[in-house]
Amino acid sequence: MQKIEKSQLDVLQERFHTFMETLESIEPEKVDLAEIDHLIEMIDEIEEKFKELKDDDQ
């Protein structure tokens, strides 16, 4: 694995970790639409970064 790919993988892992921390901090009975939208945006960013890594690997 090239150094650039390793660094990008680290970024992807950090984003996923941040997403998980955010998800765990939300109280289900108090969540609002803005928080749900933010989570969806985070997932979209993670998915896009994963696709970039996958495409770079091929």
Give Cα 20 to chain centroid, integer Å.
9
pLDDT band, very low/low/confident/very high, at 58 (cuts 50, 70, 90):
low
What's the CA gap between 29 and 23, in Å, rounded? 13
| Domains in the chain: boundaries | 3-15+30-57
Half-sphere exposure of residue 6: CA atoms within 13 angstroms, side-chain side: 3
Give Cα 4 to chain centroid, integer Å.
18
Q: Is the pLDDT of residue 3 over 70?
A: no
Alpha helices in the chain (DSSP H): 3-25, 33-57
pTM attached to this predicted model: 0.76
**Dihedral pair phi/psi, residue 50, rounded to 5°:** -60, -45
pLDDT, one tens digit per residue, over 14-53 is 999 999 999 999 999 999 999 999 999 999 999 998 888 8
- The pLDDT score that the predictor gives to residue 8 is 82
- The pLDDT score that the predictor gives to residue 4 is 56
40 vs 4, more confident: 40
